[in-house]
């Protein structure tokens, strides 16, 4: 079976019959090239080891972009935007892009921001609703965080949809990670059960870059930029002292994309530890012995560890969950810091160990230039999809194109790094870490 085997059809609220306002921005007499047809597709899997005789099903995504006809009447439409989960560079860029596209291009004037994530829909929290317009989003791309705030934790789906009904909302834009995508799917299903005409459009957000069927998530490029600064600092500290060791903990609960990419961007790391590849701590082939081998040979070392790495090293205990339902991870960074210190103390080898955790600095910063441009595309394509009456989708970047991915195909799944793939093999080549794991 093809590993990409799912339905890619995008649900719609009804037939799009209204001529798009974007036509006014096309000079008369000129061919209309800016509109995208629903028949325009992007092949999901562009690589294959072989083509079998009976392989006649090609899976493809619907291409994102403006449609020539739209479903909603802009003069009567109300739109709602909410940001959920952890902070991420680019959240304000997304908000600003959606608001400016709705206001200036589609002439939608009723745009509302829900404060503090899904809590903002629940009356008992008493969070205000914010009117959004070009003036209220002026300059927000230069600040980190989210002007709408955020929150974690599940909320009653029925009450959320009740709120949308009371607001007479037509389009709901949700910006968030895997938990938000699961919630968005449930919200869309409840809307469908009630036979409401509300479009639900999700824009995936995660610094970990681990959302399924999303090749790149906004904020990741900025996170790599800042992570490289931490690696530079750790390297400078390590080489400045005899037997210097720099230990950096980066984000990556279940996937090591940030740790691996940062290591390749700033090739000063000697060890990269990720969730997808288990490692042992002690023994002749354990990490601590490998680190000792490195110190003996080169007198310094730089280690990058993703926050979800090495969870197998902790004693079995009852799992705890955060308000969003995620397993609370053990702190591998501080754990390794203590174990490294104990190991070298027992060997009577003096070391100078520096520990760096830039996680909260990274996630709350403004987006860099690349991410800002990327957010602009995502926000505008989210608006195009919603205005066309499409629903229950997320705007994704796939095979260098912006596409519509059904929530059913992505929600509840996770993208992981292939330990045999090019990215991880490149990390092994760049660090040379395997050379220090010797018998």
Angle between helices 369-387 and 91-100 (to 10 degrees): 40
Among candidates 20, 175, 38, 31, which has minimal Cα distance to 97? Answer: 175
- By the 8 A CB rule, do 114 and 120 touch? yes
Cβ neighbours of 315 (radius 10 Å): 5
Helix, strand or coil, per DSSP, at residue 363: helix
HEC sequence for 320-361: CECCCCCECCCCHHHHHHHHHHHHHHHCCCCCEEEEECCHHH
Distance CA 73, CA 293 (A): 68
Going across the sheet that includes 171-176, the strands are: 41-43, 60-63, 401-406, 393-398, 199-204, 171-176, 78-83, 110-114, 129-131
Q: How many CB atoms lie within 10 A of CB 138?
A: 11
- The catalytically annotated residue of 178, 208, 210, 371 is 208
Catalytic status, residue 208: yes
Q: Are strands 69-70 and 60-63 parallel, antiparallel or unpaired?
A: unpaired
> Which are the contacts of 297, defined by CB distance < 8 A and separation ≥ 6?
436
Catalytic residue numbers, as ranges: 208
């Amino acid at each position: 079976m093809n590993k990409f085997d799912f339905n890619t059809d995008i649900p719609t609220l009804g037939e799009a019959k209204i001529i798009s306002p974007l036509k006014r921005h096309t000079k008369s007499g000129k061919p209309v090239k800016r509109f995208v047809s629903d028949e325009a597709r992007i092949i999901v899997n562009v690589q294959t080891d072989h083509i079998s005789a009976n392989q006649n099903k090609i899976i493809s995504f619907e291409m994102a972009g403006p449609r020539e006809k739209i479903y909603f009447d802009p003069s009567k439409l109300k739109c709602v935007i909410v940001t959920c989960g952890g902070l991420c560079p680019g959240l304000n860029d997304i908000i600003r892009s959606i608001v400016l596209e709705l206001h200036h291009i589609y002439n939608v004037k009723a745009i509302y921001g829900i404060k503090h994530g899904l809590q903002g829909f629940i009356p008992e929290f008493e969070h205000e609703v914010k009117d959004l317009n070009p003036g209220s989003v002026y300059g927000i791309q230069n600040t980190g965080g989210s002007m709408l705030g955020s929150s974690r934790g599940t909320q009653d789906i029925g009450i959320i949809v009740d709120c949308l009904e009371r607001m007479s909302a037509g389009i709901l834009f949700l910006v968030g990670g895997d938990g938000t995508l699961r919630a968005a799917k449930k919200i869309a299903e409840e809307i469908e059960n009630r036979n409401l005409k509300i479009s639900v459009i999700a824009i995936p957000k995660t610094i970990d870059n681990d959302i399924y069927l999303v090749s790149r998530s906004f904020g990741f490029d900025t996170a790599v930029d800042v992570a490289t600064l931490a690696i530079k600092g750790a390297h400078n500290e390590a080489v400045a002292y005899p037997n210097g060791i720099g230990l950096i903990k980066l984000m990556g609960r279940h996937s090591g994309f940030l740790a691996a990419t940062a290591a390749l961007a700033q090739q000063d790391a000697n060890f990269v530890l990720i969730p997808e590849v288990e490692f042992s701590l002690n023994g002749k082939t354990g990490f601590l012995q490998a680190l000792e081998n490195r110190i003996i040979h080169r007198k310094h070392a730089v280690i990058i560890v993703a926050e979800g790495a090495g969870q197998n090293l902790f004693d079995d205990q009852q799992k705890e969950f955060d308000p969003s339902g995620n397993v609370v991870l053990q702190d591998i960074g501080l754990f390794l810091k203590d174990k490294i210190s104990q190991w070298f103390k027992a060997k009577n080898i003096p070391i100078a160990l520096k520990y760096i955790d830039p996680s909260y600095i990274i996630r709350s910063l403004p987006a860099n230039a690349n991410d800002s441009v990327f957010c602009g595309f995502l926000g505008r394509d989210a608006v195009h999809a919603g205005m066309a009456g499409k629903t229950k989708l997320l705007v994704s970047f796939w095979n260098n194109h912006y596409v519509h991915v059904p929530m059913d195909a992505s929600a509840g799944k996770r993208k992981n790094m292939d330990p045999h793939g090019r990215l991880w093999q490149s990390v092994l080549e760049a660090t040379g870490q395997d050379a220090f794991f010797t018998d």
